[in-house]
């Protein structure tokens, strides 16, 4: 005779099956985060330790941290190279009503002097330029949080378990190598189009937006303290696809603005 499952075990899993909307929301939360709550295991006693850290995101979706070797969380990662990271800004009203993303990760130190270190430094400082004040101090080191899985809480009754495949993807080397040129081209030659894309895709008013980080699924732009993510309509598979992705977004923005000009005022 087998044991019957308990009432709790018979209940339906409250988590929803991830769809593209959930994956986009997770990318937005990760892409727009400059800071997060890092949970590690203290090296002295193994107890949980939560700290606030600055972060950036690699093109494939893994997370970059710049940590001092003197800090407790770095000592914790050296002893127990696993971590959890909570992302998501608290809006007005009930903080528990704001969307948030928890990432569960393996941690690895990025040694100075190699191409990985230079790529991490460039990516991190693009999003957090003030970190240039201490990024090259002898005790500061870049760490990579390789995402294993995630939990997305998008609001009431909108919780999802996410796999690494939901959150991350491999990026071809030729696509990765194109990033700097695309960013420079958009910022120097198409600043007006970038402003229009931000207005149409994310409702951001004003001008002066700059493209700062890019990946095959979208990009982040910033203006002042604002950091906003925009997803492409389709994933970029080849370096030339970046042009098509931005042309599509720019045309959509132009059509939207044309419709607004043609609409009767007050309706």
CATH of the domain at 225: 3.20.180.10
- 70 shares a domain with 36: yes
d(C-alpha 236, C-alpha 48), whole Å: 39
- 250 shares a domain with 131: no
Which residue, of 130, 151, 170, is where some domain finishes? 170
d(C-alpha 120, C-alpha 125), whole Å: 9
Q: Are the beta carbons of 76 and 41 closer than 8 angstroms?
A: yes
pLDDT digits (tens, 9 = 90+) for 169-200: 999 999 999 999 999 999 999 999 999 999 99
Beta strands 82-87; 100-110: pairing state = antiparallel
Which residue, of 108, 141, 170, is where some domain finishes? 170
- 153 shares a domain with 220: no
Residue bearing the bigger pLDDT, 4 or 212:
212
CB atoms within 10 A of CB 241: 16
Mean pLDDT of the chain: 91
d(C-alpha 28, C-alpha 231), whole Å: 8
- Residue 186's domain comprises 172-262
199 Ramachandran zone, left/alpha/beta (phi>0; psi -120 to 50)? alpha
- 208 shares a domain with 92: no
- 217 shares a domain with 159: no
Which residue, of 170, 199, 225, is where some domain finishes? 170
166, part of any domain: yes
- 146 shares a domain with 28: yes
- 25 shares a domain with 86: yes
- 197 shares a domain with 84: no
d(C-alpha 7, C-alpha 136), whole Å: 56
Name the domain count of the chain. Answer: 2
4, part of any domain: no
Q: Are the beta carbons of 152 and 160 closer than 8 angstroms?
A: yes
* Report field, pTM of the whole predicted structure over 0.85: yes
d(C-alpha 160, C-alpha 26), whole Å: 10
- 222 shares a domain with 100: no
pLDDT digits (tens, 9 = 90+) for 4-54: 555 555 566 788 899 999 999 999 999 999 999 999 999 999 999 999 999
Asked if residue 215 has pLDDT above 50, the reply is yes
d(C-alpha 62, C-alpha 126), whole Å: 16
């Amino acid at each position: 005779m087998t044991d019957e499952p308990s009432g709790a075990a018979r209940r339906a899993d409250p988590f929803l099956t991830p769809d593209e909307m959930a994956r986009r929301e997770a990318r937005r939360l990760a892409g727009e985060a400059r800071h997060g709550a890092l949970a590690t295991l203290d090296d002295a006693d193994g107890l949980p330790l939560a700290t606030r850290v600055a972060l950036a995101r690699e093109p494939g979706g893994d997370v970059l941290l710049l940590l001092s070797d003197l800090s407790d969380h770095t000592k914790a990662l050296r002893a127990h190279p696993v971590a959890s990271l909570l992302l998501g800004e608290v809006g007005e009203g009930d903080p528990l009503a704001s969307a948030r993303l928890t990432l569960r990760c393996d941690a690895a130190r990025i040694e100075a002097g190699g191409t990985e270190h230079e790529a991490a430094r460039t990516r991190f400082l693009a999003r957090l330029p003030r970190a240039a004040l201490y990024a090259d101090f002898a005790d500061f080191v870049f760490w990579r949080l390789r995402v294993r899985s995630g939990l997305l809480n998008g609001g009431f009754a909108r919780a999802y378990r996410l796999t690494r495949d939901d959150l991350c993807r491999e990026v071809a080397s030729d696509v990765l190598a194109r990033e700097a040129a695309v960013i420079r081209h958009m910022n120097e030659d198409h600043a007006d189009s970038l402003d229009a894309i931000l207005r149409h895709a994310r409702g951001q008013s004003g001008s002066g937006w700059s493209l700062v980080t890019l990946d095959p699924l979208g990009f982040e732009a910033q203006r002042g303290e604002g950091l906003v993510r925009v997803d492409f309509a389709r994933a970029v598979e080849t370096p030339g696809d970046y042009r098509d992705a931005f042309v599509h977004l720019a045309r959509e923005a132009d059509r939207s603005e044309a419709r607004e000009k043609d609409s009767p005022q007050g309706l």
